[in-house]
Amino acid sequence: MINANLSQFLDTGWFNEATLYYKGYIYWCEGYWDKTKEKPIHFFVYRFPAKVVDEIYFERIHTDESFKYIFEVWGYGEDDVKEKFLKAKIFEGKSFWEVEKELAWLDE
């Protein structure tokens, strides 16, 4: 993982409004608890075009039409949801593990 500690990302970063960059797109990840639901953890990913500035920050180049909700999952626990996220083919048809070395963890 570029710009980041993989262990830290897998521990907490993936769930806490992570901003990832991969091949011209930002993947914005967020999760939260909703204890009123049967499966109380909700996690989702949005994707939009962007360009990297200084290898750490990014500039949004999206319109409302290009901002896409591309992944959503509800789960019983964080481990359950994280496993589904890591295996999902979110990144141009590839999983997190297939692109991990090319993903950059960015700051807005």
Range 9-16, long-range pairs (CB < 8 A, 24+ positions): 9/105, 10/82, 13/105, 14/82, 14/85, 15/43, 15/78, 15/81, 15/82
pLDDT at 41: 93
* Residue with more model confidence, 77 or 89: 89
pLDDT at 45 over 60: yes
CA distance linking residue 103 with residue 27, whole number of Å: 10
CA distance linking residue 9 with residue 21, whole number of Å: 14
pLDDT at 57: 62
pLDDT at 22: 92
